Amino acid sequence: MCEVTCLLQSRNNIEPTIDNLEQQSRNNIEPTIDNLEQQSRNNIEPTIDNLEQQARKSLLASKKVAETSLNDEQNINFDNIEEVSELPIVLEAMERLKKAELNMDNVIKFKVRLSKFDIKRIQHCYNNMRCKSLKQRLYDITKLASYPKKLINAKNYYAKFEDDEEIILLYDDTLFGNAKSGFVITTKAIYTKVAFKLPIIINLIHISSIRKEQGIILINDIALPTSFIEAEDLSVLLDFLNFINSCMGDKAAITISEA
């Protein structure tokens, strides 16, 4: 009986001791865990912030480089572009716009022309021209039928017009009448060549000004070869070009002036 009593007393003494040890261990461990968690959080959060900051700086730098290089060539406005990943979409749209502009330019260049009715009006004006010295060098399509070599030489040397263009006028600015320099007016363009210089093409739709200055007729500041036209005849030619302008109507805006 005494032994049992002793065992019970020992258990009662041991259990509080174990409880105390467990509580002490828990008290010691939990703050340590809390400290470790806080330390880890303190170490990780700045690292994440730094990574985010570095990534943001890298993105902005890439965007700045792309903006600088592309703005120089394409004049892109990056104000509304928030992500560099949008650049391929923008570039594709710009490429489509460029193609559309080129197509429109081709439409203006190749589709806008003088009509058959315009040609008849110009022909009538030419027939009523009373300047004989000018008409000796200025040939309409009817008169050219008697001088086929002139048109062949003009086409070989400078008037590389297309098959769908109709000849309206040819001016021969050569001494011997071979028409290797001068100008040709078609339903689409003016083909001109001054002797010993390269030929030039002026699309009718692109003409912005025609004027006479110091005895020379200038179309878009390009001098027409008129070496053998007398001063008073230049005014007649200028008026004739003015009439051709009126035939173009809304197809082009040509300002004609005489200095």
Confidence of residue 258 (pLDDT cuts 50, 70, 90): very low
Q: What is the mean pLDDT of residues 47-70?
A: 58
Q: Tokens at residue 41, please?
A: 């959080």
Pick the more confident residue, 142 or 36: 142
The confidence score (pLDDT) of residue 130 equals: 85
Over range 64-77, report the average pLDDT.
53
Cβ pair 210, 254 in contact under 8 A: yes
Which residue, chain included where needed, has tokens 């006028």? Answer: 169
Confidence at 15, pLDDT banded by 50, 70, 90:
low
Instruction: Using alpha carbons, list the distances in angstroms from residue 218 to 133, 208, 242.
Output: 20, 11, 13
Residue 105 in tokens: 């330019």
Tens digit of each residue's pLDDT (9 = 90 or more) over 96-118? 766 665 555 554 444 567 888 99
Q: Is residue 208 within 8 Å of 254, Cβ to Cβ?
A: yes
115: tokens are 């009509």
How confident is the model over 197-237, as pLDDT tens digits? 999 999 988 888 899 998 899 999 999 999 999 888 999 99
Count CB-CB contacts under 10 A for residue 223. Answer: 14
> How far apart, in whole angstroms, are the C-alpha atoms of residue 164 and residue 224?
24
- pLDDT computed for residue 132 by the predictor: 80
CA distance 90 to 76: 9
The pLDDT value recorded for residue 108 is: 45
**In the chain, where are the structural domains located?**
25-110, 116-258
pLDDT (tens digit per residue) in 118-150? 999 999 999 998 888 899 999 999 999 999 999
